[in-house]
Amino acid sequence: MDTRRKSNKDGAEKPALKKKASSIGTGGNNGNGNAGFAHRAKTDLEVMFDKYRDMTRDADERDVIWKKGIILMGEDLGVTDEVTILLLPWKLQSCLSWGIQRGEWFHGLTNAKVTSHVKLRSLFTQLKEEVGGTPEVFGEFYGYLYDFLREDRGKHMDPSIAMEYWQKLLAKRFKYLKEWTTYVETAEPFKSRGVSRDLWKQLYEFAASTESLAAHEPDGPYPVLIDDFVEWARAKK
């Protein structure tokens, strides 16, 4: 949670914020709906943030664009692909699951020189190119997504969520995606436990570097579950 906002409620840090008001635009419209400051035209960013954040929530959570808002934003921007919309939180390095906080929004977008609706749209195109370019960058994006998509239930990610996104993210990058999907659906360990961060990340490494099942070494550094998968897949053939 953004601690600055907390102290904002107490009113202690208002002057500092106010100073930055003109550049960031957090000016008069803070979370408390206190409109006691100078009225000036809202910037595009402000407008968008206000449009997508969830006002129905409690005070703590109002300054965040949650899942609904993100999806809505995607639709508005013409970004229909579920994966592409995720590029934004990655770029902004959002730390909440399915949530973009106020600070992250303004800070990140300003740094990216995005000040308007149109520029935001082109940002997506740019990010898409970046990520599609090298495997390393995609790997970073992919790795980041574990925490974003997790929905914070316990230590591990729900296998069904993992499966959904593996389909979307690794469709063209993982030769054995189909077998892997079957494996995850049927194998024991996934029924009782979720997908750990290590497994999530290592799966991409595995996908990127494994040419064939036969070449895989069981005593390598990959997690045991991947070894089990290879064994299972080999047996099936």
Contacts with other proteins, residue ranges (CB under 8 A)? 155, 196-198, 201-202, 205, 218-224, 227
Q: In the complex with other proteins, which residue's Cβ is closer, 133 or 218? A: 218
Cβ–Cβ < 8 Å for 83, 51 = no
Cross-strand bridge partners of residue 195: 157
d(CA 38, CA 187): 60
**Residues 41-72 as b or e (16 or more Cβ within 10 Å = b):** eebbbbebbeebbbeeeeeebbbbbbeebbee
CB of 31 vs other proteins, minimal distance in Å: 33
CB of 227 vs other proteins, minimal distance in Å: 7
CB of 107 vs other proteins, minimal distance in Å: 24
Q: In the complex with other proteins, which residue's Cβ is closer, 5 or 150? A: 150
Q: Which residues 6+ apart lie within 8 Å of 30 measured at CB?
A: 5, 8, 17
Cβ–Cβ < 8 Å for 89, 148 = yes
Amino acid of residue 89: P
CB of 196 vs other proteins, minimal distance in Å: 6
Q: In the complex with other proteins, which residue's Cβ is closer, 103 or 223? A: 223
Q: In the complex with other proteins, which residue's Cβ is closer, 29 or 196? A: 196
CB of 40 vs other proteins, minimal distance in Å: 44
Residue position matching structure tokens 């990610």: 157
Cβ–Cβ < 8 Å for 183, 226 = no
Q: In the complex with other proteins, which residue's Cβ is closer, 88 or 195? A: 195
